[in-house]
Structures are given as structure tokens and as C-alpha cells.
Amino acid sequence: MNHLSNAAVAALLMSNIPRDFVLSVDELLFAGAKRAHAASAGMHKGHRPSVLGQMRHFHMNEDFSHALEAIGANPTAIRGNTVVTGRLGIFTLGRFNIKAGLWNNGRRSRTRREMSLANRSVEPLVQPGLFGDVQPITEATVFFVATFGSSDAPVSIDIAVPDKDMKGWLFREPLQVFANRYYVIAEQPDNAVPMLKEQTKVETSE
């Protein structure tokens, strides 16, 4: 998977989303996916893929809601196929699942497309020359995306910020990689050279 990295968007995410929440989402979504696979294991192979998809949606939605509630992000009600969202700082947070290589499938949901419109204010951070002056960012949207291959567990769980049309990604990175960013400390060279004050010789008269 080709992951997109932008330091300005990453900094915006870290200033609003605690590292503990990132790790919690990674752990809970992984566990939810495993439970979903176990729940669908006994179903007829003819409809097992459909059952597995539904089980992933239900189990992972519940776990995402738990993570949001634990951090005080006020999750929306769990109800059928509705998108569960929360709020941390300026970010509205959502989640969805995709098959490996099908990142554009995320925009099939009208709700997710509407949520992504808020990111028009984030786009200038990535390509400031195309969008004019960077305006204050007061709201934005981020998704936690679980990518599945042929195994029972996600191939990757990413934190992803779409563009306003949800046709591309302003930032995309696996949660485990993103979590390490919180430990990176910018080292600024100390170019200051200490100057010792020259002592004035005091002459004494005898």
C-alpha cells in the first residue's frame, strides 16, 4: 500500500487526537475483526463473505464506539448500517473497512462524502500554492480505515484524512507508524555561543 505522509497534517492530527486513543482504536478494531471472523465461521460458504462483511461492520462499530466513549468523544448511537462518529478537538472521527487495493470504495457512502467536505480547509496544508493563503482550520474529518485481504485480521489499520471530495488522501498512515510520531522530538541546534564578560583589571595605588 502506498502511504501518504504530510508533516503539517500529521501535526494537526497529533494536536487534537491523543496517542492513547490511537493505540486503543488499533487494538479494539483488530479484536473486533477477529470476533467477526469467529462469528461467521460456521455459516454456509455460499454467503459466508457477505455474513463476514456484516459481522465486521457490527463488531468493529461497537468497538470503535467503546474507544470513542472512553476518551470522551461522544459517539453517535449505534444503529444498523449508520456511520458511528465522534469528536476530538476540531476532528470528526469515523471508520470504515475496505478490501486491499480498493481505497476509492470509501466514497461509496454519502455520509462519508458529506463528512469529508469539511477538509477543504485542510487541503492548503498539503499544496498551499494551489489554494492560496492557509485559513484557520476549525473543523476537519479523519477516518480509521481497516484494510482486509484473505486473512481473518486486517492487513493494516490506517489513520486517513481525505480531500474534500474523498477522491484522494491528504494523509494516510498505519496506526502503529503514526503512534511513533508522538515520540519524535524536533531537535533544534543550539547556535548560541556563550560570551564571557571580560573582567576589568582594577589598578590599586600604593
Confidence grade of residue 129 (pLDDT, cut at 50, 70, 90): low
DSSP state letters, 179-190 = HHGGG-------
* 154-202 residue pLDDT tens: 999 999 999 999 999 999 999 999 999 999 844 444 555 444 444 444 4
183: Cβ contacts below 8 Å, ≥ 6 apart = none
Model confidence pLDDT, tens digit, residues 71-83:
999 999 999 888 8
- What are the start-end ranges of the E strands in 105-196? 140-148, 156-162, 169-174
In contact, 33 and 153? CB cutoff 8 Å: yes
Mean pLDDT value across residues 86-94: 97
Reported as half-sphere exposure (CB side, CA atoms, 13 A), residue 124 has a value of 12
**Is residue 134 predicted with pLDDT exceeding 80?**
no
pLDDT in tens, 11-31: 999 999 999 999 999 999 999
Residue-wise pLDDT for 21-59, tens only, equals 999 999 999 999 999 988 888 787 788 778 888 898 899
Residue 6 predicted with pLDDT over 60: yes
Query: 3-class DSSP state for residue 63?
Result: helix
